[in-house]
Structure formats: structure tokens, C-alpha cells
Amino acid sequence: MPGAPYNAATLWFGPAFERLHPLLQALHRGGGRLSGEVAISTGTGLAGRLGRRLAQRLGIPLDRPRRGFEVRIVHDEDAMQWRRRFDDGSELISIFRPVGRYPDGHWLEDTGPARLRLGVDLDGGGWRWRLRSVAWRGLPWPRFLFPSTDAYKRIEDGDRYRFAVAFSLFPFGELLRYEGALHAIPADPAVPVERVAT
């Protein structure tokens, strides 16, 4: 990876990093900011009630179906931080720590009291998370008690960062989804490079 700084993402993927779309490579070499609008929805009936409860725990606002959204991605040698901010000021912050190497390794995502163990599938230049296990406040949870997740990111329309995150629980179906197509915000050279805050 000529010219690429070594960080948690480039080291974990190794040679497979080159399989990501060039814009995803750039984002995960040096970090960056993405901005745009997201659509937010919950299921119906009991799935909707569970989805609203999950959204409240995660800090995802549900008062409008569409909201302005920004995500700031920061890397260092040990971790990635994704700081997601909705236009009402709500924030959803995750710290991702790599374990092992692609394709057999995984990431540990800490979001509030939840810790997810996530594998990665690469497809068509995109990145899809694959949930392997869940812990809540340090205690392992049986998978059937925790919503399954479908989360991916890819580049479309030349320069749009398309992402979606959906939570489902059998037999209720989809509980919560937020998704959007974001654009990169150019870096300000006067602003110092951030490091992951843990």
C-alpha cells in the first residue's frame, strides 16, 4: 500500500485493502468527514415498539423520517472511531478495535453498553459487516435475544458514500433502519489530525 499510513484499518486488511473502492481506501487511510441526509424508519406493531426502544438506547432520533447527518471517521494504529451526529445534536459513537487479520479476524465494536464482534465481507469494492457475537455490559448474550444486523458501505454514482444499517429480530422482522448517500467534506489543512479518543 504505497504511501498509505499504517493504521487499524490498513493493517487489519493487509493486501485485501486494495479490494476496497479507491474512495473507501482514501477514507480509511486518513479518516475524514461525510455529510448528507439519512432516512430513519422503524417496523410496525411490536417490531416498531422494539425499534423505537432500540433507537432511544442508541441515540437515534425518530421524530422525523429524514434528518441531516454527519459522520467523522478517525483512525490510529489501534482503533477506529466513528462519531455519527444527527442534525438535532444526537450522537452515536462507536470505537472499533481490530483482532487478527482479514479474512479470519474480526473487529470489536463498542457502542455504549454493547460490544459486537464483527467479521467483514468485501464485495464489489464495498464493505459489509457480519455479526458474529454480542455482549451487553460485558456479559455474552445468546444471538437469538439480540437483533441481527445488516450493515454495509459502498461507493455509488461515482462519489457517493452509500450506507445502510438495519436491525431485525425473528419473528418480528425489521425493527429499525437508517441509511443514506453521503458526500465527503474536504479536509481543512489548518485543523490538526485527530486521534481516536477512548
Contact (Cβ atoms closer than 8 angstroms) between residue 77 and residue 35: no
**Average pLDDT, rounded, for the chain:** 91
pLDDT at 198 (0 to 100): 53
The answer to the question of residue 194 being in a domain is: no
The answer to the question of residue 146 being in a domain is: yes
Owning domain of residue 32: 21-185
pLDDT at 143 (0 to 100): 83
Contact (Cβ atoms closer than 8 angstroms) between residue 99 and residue 32: no
The answer to the question of residue 6 being in a domain is: no
In this structure, of 9-13, 120-124, 145-149, 163-167, the range with the lowest mean pLDDT score is: 145-149
Higher pLDDT: 22 or 137? It is: 22
Bridge partners, 34 (sequence order): 71, 184
Domain CATH code at residue 112: 2.40.128.20
The answer to the question of residue 15 being in a domain is: no
In this structure, of 34-43, 58-67, 144-153, the range with the lowest mean pLDDT score is: 144-153
How many folded domains does the chain comprise?
1
Tens of pLDDT, residue by residue over 74-133, are 999 999 999 999 999 999 999 999 999 999 999 999 998 889 999 999 999 999 999 999
CA–CA distances in Å: residue 18 to residues 8, 10, 29, 198: 15, 9, 11, 28
The answer to the question of residue 16 being in a domain is: no
Q: Write down the pTM of the prediction.
A: 0.88
pLDDT at 191 (0 to 100): 42
Q: What SS3 class is residue 28? A: helix
Task: Give the separation between CA 33 and CA 39, rounded to whole angstroms.
Answer: 19
Task: Give the separation between CA 19 and CA 24, rounded to whole angstroms.
Answer: 10
pLDDT at 13 (0 to 100): 97
The answer to the question of residue 94 being in a domain is: yes
